[in-house]
Amino acid sequence: MPPSKKSNSRRDSKKPGRPAKKRRRHSLLRVIRKDTGAPTPAVGPGFKSFGDFDEATRYLYSRTNVEALRPSKVPSQVWKLDRMEALMEALDNPHRSFRSVHIAGSKGKGSVCEMTGAALVGCGLTTGLYTSPHVADIRERIRLNGQMVSEADFVALISEVALAAESIRRRAGASTFFELMTAAAFVHFAREAVDVAVVEVGLGGRLDSTNVLTPDVCAITSIQLEHTQILGDTLEKIAREKAGIIKPGVPIITIPQQKSVVLETIKEVAAREGAPISVVGQSIDFSSRYETTPQLGAHMRVSLSTPRVQFEHVAVPLKGEHQAMNCGLALSILDRLKERGVPITERGAAAGLAKTPNPARMELVYSQPRIIVDGAHNPESIHALMKSLGAHIKYDSLIVIFGCASDKDIAGMLARLGTGADKVIFTRAESNPRAADPRDLLRRFSESSTKMCLAEKSLKDAINAAAKSAHKDDLICITGSFYLAGEAKKLLAAKKASDASVRVPVKSGASSGRK
């Protein structure tokens, strides 16, 4: 568990229902592509570059990857910034050549990053965006003006950082998956001379690889109990780790927190670092309202006013009441950037904001039956999802396909599921080695709920089971982790591609509505 204090230079290196009607016989999904099992590429004498995209990604996934490990299995040497600082030095410190925004938090940081990045693009600024985890394609993590880095550039970047990592390995240790990805993003942003890079913290903050940055603005979203084996077992400890991104003199913006101890801790760290702190809705004038229009349907609108910007009745681009405060935080970030000389305009920001992408955030990925995916992975996110589905989407019954990591707050998530789902199908993502056993999830849910539920061994089987039981106006929601959401997007994208390329004859008496 990481200690709470940090040094003046490098941070401490210690470990921080209804009856189903008759359906067609065909399964909605039939094929899942398997891993090639190719050997891991080596980086050593004579190495110049990885041969292709697959070789580069195999190398990355052969490195220590905290995202795929149980907390108890994470090596203690992971939690240090010395190695990342050495890697940056070997790459000529690309992170010092561009302006940046650094965003931490337990919930909503991805949404804030997406909205901030889109608004900056709308202002005509060359904008880098680094987020994690990815949903369907690893290149989603590194984007320029909303576009993923190309496969060719990705291979070149990973080849370069792999060589740099090899050059420091003997004195600094082996670089991790996340360190290599972060380094690749920083090199890319430096080469492309971005005006601003929006960077999401991976885990925690104080000892996160991204914390080599000295940004123009820091922001902290909602903080809740998470990763307690790594960040600490109290909200105060977790808040202190998140607040580790605060730098001397750099403005820090946050939101009203559910527990007073969280905001008090953030303010304490800000005071110690001499960082001016603002709180949306308290020291920053902010308001929000729920609205329904023919053009946008049900959505939130926000207004935010400072001496520099006047955002009036801006439509929040992401669904859910909780996204209003996230949008307010994004707009506050723009205000602080403008204060520091970045050319921000209200009209440009609003236009860009309207184009915010929504990967795995109540994202409709299939239309018949209707299937949405959402990366909700803690009790608060599941609660917000259940509430938002009812407010924004019309449906008869809600069928939830759920799978999560075994080290999450499973009891809390299952309790929230029961408030909105009519039927729950438990499964697991094949790509997540930390995934909880669907049978265990079923047992635990059944102990406290009378809702219809079953377990399927794979996501493919779960989607097929849901599709067979879904009626025309029902909704299927796949949630519980970004692993599950990403796997679903790949499966359903392949299904749609198959539907578009192969015309299946309709037999006599069969439904003509097959998609």
Q: 408-437 pLDDT, tens per residue?
A: 889 999 999 989 999 999 999 998 888 999
pLDDT of residue 169: 95
User: Does pLDDT of 20 surpass 60?
Assistant: no
Share of the chain above pLDDT 70, in %: 90
Please name the amino acid found at residue 477. C
Query: pLDDT-based confidence at 285, cuts 50/70/90?
Result: very high
The three-state (H, E, C) secondary structure of 409-446, written as one string: CHHHHHHHHCCCCCEEEECCCCCCCCECCHHHHHHHHH
Residue 216 sits in the same domain as residue 143 = yes
What sections of 101-234 are H helices per DSSP? 109-122, 151-172, 177-191, 228-231
Range with lowest mean pLDDT among 97-101, 128-132, 428-432, 445-449: 428-432
Residue 213 sits in the same domain as residue 317 = yes
* d(C-alpha 339, C-alpha 335), whole Å: 6
Order of strands, edge to edge, in the sheet holding 285-293? 285-293, 297-305, 310-315
Among residues 74, 57, 56, which one has the least CA distance to residue 65?
74
pLDDT of residue 21: 42
In a domain, 51, yes or no: no
Tell me the mean pLDDT in the region 359-383. Answer: 92
> What is the tally of structural domains in the chain?
2
In a domain, 456, yes or no: yes
Range with lowest mean pLDDT among 67-71, 241-245, 403-407: 67-71
Element (H, E) at 372: strand 370-374
Residue 390 sits in the same domain as residue 496 = yes
In a domain, 53, yes or no: no
User: Bigger pLDDT: 418 or 463?
Assistant: 463
Residue 330 sits in the same domain as residue 433 = no
Residue 23 burial (CB count, 10 A):
14
User: Does pLDDT of 1 surpass 90?
Assistant: no
Tell me the mean pLDDT in the region 498-508. Answer: 57
Please name the amino acid found at residue 63. R
Residue 283 sits in the same domain as residue 378 = no
- pLDDT for 122-150, tens place per residue? 999 999 999 999 998 999 999 999 999 99
Tokens of 61: 């996934």
Among residues 149, 137, 154, 16, which one has the least CA distance to residue 81?
16
Question: Which SS3 state, helix, strand or coil, does residue 220 take?
Answer: strand
Residue 392 sits in the same domain as residue 289 = no
Residue 368 sits in the same domain as residue 330 = no
Average pLDDT of the chain is 90
What residues make up the domain containing 334?
Answer: 94-148+185-353
User: Bigger pLDDT: 405 or 214?
Assistant: 214
In a domain, 386, yes or no: yes
Residue 231 burial (CB count, 10 A):
27
| Total residues belonging to the chain | 515
Q: Which residues contact 297 (CB under 8 A, 6 or more apart)?
A: 392
User: Bigger pLDDT: 241 or 2?
Assistant: 241
Number of alpha carbons in the 13 Å side-chain half-sphere of residue 286: 21
Tell me the mean pLDDT in the region 456-475. Answer: 96
User: Does pLDDT of 369 surpass 70?
Assistant: yes
User: Bigger pLDDT: 332 or 494?
Assistant: 332
- pLDDT for 311-355, tens place per residue? 999 999 999 899 999 999 999 999 999 999 999 999 999 999 999
In a domain, 450, yes or no: yes
Residue 213 sits in the same domain as residue 246 = yes
Which residue, 353, 380, 407, sits at the end of a domain? 353
Residue 436, φ and ψ in degrees, nearest 5: -75, 150
pLDDT of residue 69: 83
* d(C-alpha 20, C-alpha 128), whole Å: 48
Which residue, 329, 353, 377, sits at the end of a domain? 353
Share of the chain above pLDDT 90, in %: 76
Residue 292 burial (CB count, 10 A):
10
User: Does pLDDT of 255 surpass 70?
Assistant: yes
In a domain, 35, yes or no: no
Residue 406 sits in the same domain as residue 385 = yes
pLDDT of residue 506: 44
Range with lowest mean pLDDT among 22-26, 167-171, 363-367, 462-466: 22-26
- pLDDT for 147-196, tens place per residue? 999 999 999 999 999 999 999 999 999 999 999 999 999 999 999 999 99
Query: pLDDT-based confidence at 501, cuts 50/70/90?
Result: low
Residue 226 sits in the same domain as residue 304 = yes
pLDDT of residue 171: 95
pLDDT of residue 72: 76
Indicate which CATH number applies to the domain containing 480.
3.90.190.20
Residue 202 sits in the same domain as residue 299 = yes
pTM of the predicted protein model: 0.85
Please name the amino acid found at residue 78. V
Indicate which CATH number applies to the domain containing 137.
3.40.1190.10
In a domain, 71, yes or no: no
Which residue, 289, 323, 353, sits at the end of a domain? 353
In a domain, 281, yes or no: yes
Q: Are strands 277-279 and 252-254 parallel, antiparallel or unpaired?
A: parallel
pLDDT of residue 432: 87
Residue 316 sits in the same domain as residue 402 = no
* d(C-alpha 453, C-alpha 464), whole Å: 15
User: Bigger pLDDT: 21 or 502?
Assistant: 502
pLDDT of residue 29: 63
What sections of 192-259 are H helices per DSSP? 228-231, 235-242
